[in-house]
Structure 1
């Protein structure tokens, strides 16, 4: 088991990435407005690029480039969706759900989203519970999850967890421990690697424990919290943890698991999250490009979509703004892997940076998005009112280190995709 763990652990390289500049800072105060007046309730409709100031020819070039990458064998398949001003101007499917198998990807193909879970499930659910008064952003996590107070972590707040600034390492996996409750206890007892609130370190462990805290506070499983408060009201019917067997033919496979002895299809590829049952705060959500675009439009609208009021506008503003003034883009945006790990963050969201953002180089500075480690991406550009979703079944880089992360980003062409979307806008 230990040898299998060493062979697959996708974050071994990242475990040592914890020495960086630390600058003390405090978090901005949460807005007090809870009014829904004036909130945009735009719903997605289909239309032509020219209807919203975009070029059909340039958008076709974007899709042709994805097709070329699939044809070159860089990944088996993909779906891509582009929307502007609430109008879906392009939604395409490419390649195969399973490498080497004649199962074409369709527009409703479901993909393993990996870390996009952090936004679509965990951060959104946490803010929904803040809205309900079940949890408080500035409350200590240990108020809801007492075992988390171990190893000097009693003062870490929910806000620190959401903004990737809790002081925890990138991960702490226990694949050689069979009992789930023991694994959760060991994770909760993980010691700090830096002083909470003084820096940023992207952390699956932090979000895994955040999901556990949400469950404890709400008295419900995380998938129930997310479905009843976010996905269900938005009509995101193809968004879920652990797709049932009846849906597996719609699911794109990622990669073969040596630990499980079979191809990951309808199962989260991350081994630790699979071992914990597939429902965690860091990985595990499956969805379609259309459902993800609905979620992004809700955020772009300020928290509502159609007749569904999901999050208060002040909470949405808090979610997508820079919550980490203790770090700067100039000091941290030094490589693709350090962009993921160390750059300024929102609550769950990654924030666009000028050099190594997986959202490319042409999004506006206020843009926010999220990558999934198996090759999935969503970005929202509020200045252009554009949503871009690119879902591939590339699979997790193996090993998961700086080199292989960069190679995966290059293979799927996420930067080229988002740059191409902005290039399609008539300026």
Structure 2
């Protein structure tokens, strides 16, 4: 009993030291190329104008049921100068949107998961953009319409591949019930790919998807046609070339070092403390609210781990990754890619062929600056060198090196149904982005 005061004393001392260390971390000066927090006035922007305009646009979007809730993050000149959450997870207004909520990124997965891995493999000389893709993905050797397609053509959506294949059709019988050889309500060694609660996919179905892609048509006309097909293949290719599994590769080389602690696939199976924003009430396949499981059906048939969709993340995590790209491969004093590799991936590849795309990255419309907001993509004010990507669920990320601006927009516009399209018709993402270009304070 006499020892208790001394033990309590040690406890309080250790707790005090721990608290001081936490305060030091929170108050520490970030590295020159690491995101920090600031205010709009720090970068000569009008805070009142920004808050008034963004609040108005987002509030109207919620009123028009473009989405039940959203959040916006903007970093300028290396400082997060705006990060605000709006609305609720659903229209019943029970769960408010929080700044650390996890969102299903949909196609933003392409540039936040598959692409950084491919970029690193190119950097290491394990992939050549101008070699035939079949050099690495040998299933395409002997496929006359595919064996000579280069990785550059494919990543720039210039290869003539079909845009999308609905693989979900392959698992249903004519009466609408799932085929037992592909789907089971419980996990076994053979049925190990979990698509949803009580839905497990035969791990061999992945090979069936590959065969269907092998047989898919390729257009003779080499012009811009967006296709996500090969992003279904990239995880297996990355594992083949890297020698470790796709998720481990991403966590080891990117998410871990960048401090993207709650970025990953299948968040329902992980112990993340963050709330997960729901997407669609699925009446066809999952027969319930899709929350914590990937919305994209093709990715779900792969167990939620894919290159086309399936990644979940917070706004701050995405801001770090986009800042890394904008800084041409470095973040917080660490180099992740060579400057030359990043420059190659973010530049337009086939502008002479009316193709605005970079390698994996989206780019502004040609002559975007001369277009009205209703016709522009994204905001008319973004620089031609800027780049990013959008996601079907209502997500959008963009980086503008010329203006040193990173823009993150997260929403669940597909709740309760993907038929909700006012996010597009009201041009909400572009309008919010435009605010930060128009908020410049007059110089003295």
Q: TM-score range by the shorter chain?
A: 0.7 to 0.9
Cα shift at 1:391:
0.3
Shift of 1:216: 2.8
The aligned counterpart of 2:121 is 129
Cα distance in 2 for partners of 1:324, 1:396 equals: 36
1:66 aligns with 2:58: yes
Structure 1 position 63, deviation (Å): 2.8
**SS in structure 2 of the partner of residue 109 of structure 1:** coil
User: Is 1:350 equivalent to 2:375 in the alignment?
Assistant: no
In structure 2, the partner of 1:392 is: 411
1:117: how far off?
A: 0.9
Q: Report the Cα offset of residue 357 of structure 1.
A: 4.1
Q: Post-superposition shift, 1:364?
A: 2.0
Quick check: 1:155 aligned with 2:148? yes
Find the partner of 1:103 among 95, 104, 111: 95
The CA deviation string for residues 63-100 of structure 1, in whole angstroms up to 9 with x for no partner, is 31213322443311111101110011110111112332
2: CA distance between counterparts of 1:50 and 1:282? 38
Do the aligned residues in 1 keep the contact of 2:35 with 2:79 (CA within 8 Å)? yes
Q: Could you tell me which residue of structure 1 aligns to residue 278 of structure 2? A: 253
Correspondence 1:423 to 2:438: yes
Match for 2:264 among 205, 229, 240?
240
Aligned-pair CA distance for 1:101:
4.6
- Asked if the contact 2:111/2:361 (under 8 Å) is kept, the reply is yes
Change (3 A) 1:111 1:44: same
**Does structure 2 retain, via aligned residues, the 8 Å contact 1:76–1:393?**
yes
- Distance in 1 (CA, whole Å) between partners of 2:427 and 2:87 is 13
Tell me the C-alpha RMSD between the 2 structures: 2.2
Mapped partners of 1:47, 1:174: distance in 2:
46
CA positional deviation for 1:186? 1.5
Q: Deviations over 1:397-417 (max 9, x none)?
A: 9678xxx76x43235711111
Q: Which position in structure 1 is the counterpart of 2:348?
A: 322
Is 1:363 the counterpart of 2:375 in the alignment? no
1:12-47 CA-to-partner distances (Å, cap 9, x unmatched) read xxxxxxxxxxxxxxxxxxxxxxxxxxxx95111111
Map of 1:66-105 to 2, 5 A cutoff?
66-105=58-97
Separation in 1, partners of 2:426, 2:277: 17
Structure 2 vs 1, CA of residues 77 and 412 (structure 1 numbering), >3 Å: closer, same or farther?
Answer: farther
Q: Offset of 1:248 from its aligned partner? A: 8.0
Q: How far apart are residue 318 of structure 1 and its match?
A: 0.7
Q: Greater shift after overlay, 68-77 or 299-308? A: 68-77
Structure 2 counterpart of 1:54: 45
Change (3 A) 1:73 1:192: closer
- The correspondence of residues 219-234 of structure 1 with structure 2, limited to 5 A, is 219-234=243-258
Unaligned runs of at least 5 residues, structure 2: 1-30, 172-181, 183-204
Deviation, structure 1 residue 325: 2.9
Task: For structure 1, list consecutive stretches of 5 or more residues without a partner in the other structure.
Answer: 1-39, 329-342
Give 1:246-395 correspondences, 5 Å limit. 246-247=271-272, 250-258=275-283, 259-328=285-354, 343-353=355-365, 354=368, 355=371, 356-395=375-414
Distance (whole Å) between structure 2 residues aligned to residue 263 and residue 148 of structure 1: 38
Answering whether residue 112 of structure 2 is matched by residue 141 of structure 1, we say no
CA distance in 1, matches of 2:77, 2:267: 31
Work out whether residues 147 and 189 of structure 1, in 8 Å CA contact, stay in contact via their aligned partners in 2: no
> Quick one: distance in 1 between partners of 2:252 and 2:427?
33
> Helix, strand or coil: the match of 1:283?
coil
CA distance in 1, matches of 2:395, 2:228: 16
Please tell me whether Structure 1 or Structure 2 has the larger radius of gyration of its CA atoms. 2
State TM-score, norm by structure 1.
Answer: 0.81
Summarize deviations over 1:91-122 as a string: whole Å, max 9, x none. Answer: 01111123325111111001011011111111
SS of corresponding position for 1:250: coil
Q: Is the 8 A contact 1:75 1:411 kept in 2?
A: no
| SS state at 1:170 partner | coil
Q: Report Cα offsets for 1:302-328 as digits up to 9, x if no partner.
A: 110012211110011111111123422
Task: Specify the alignment match of 1:5 in structure 2.
Answer: none
What is the distance in 1 between the residues matched to 2:339 and 2:248?
23
**1:151–1:190 Cα contact (<8 Å) kept:** no
Counterpart contact for 2:279–2:416, Cα < 8 Å: no
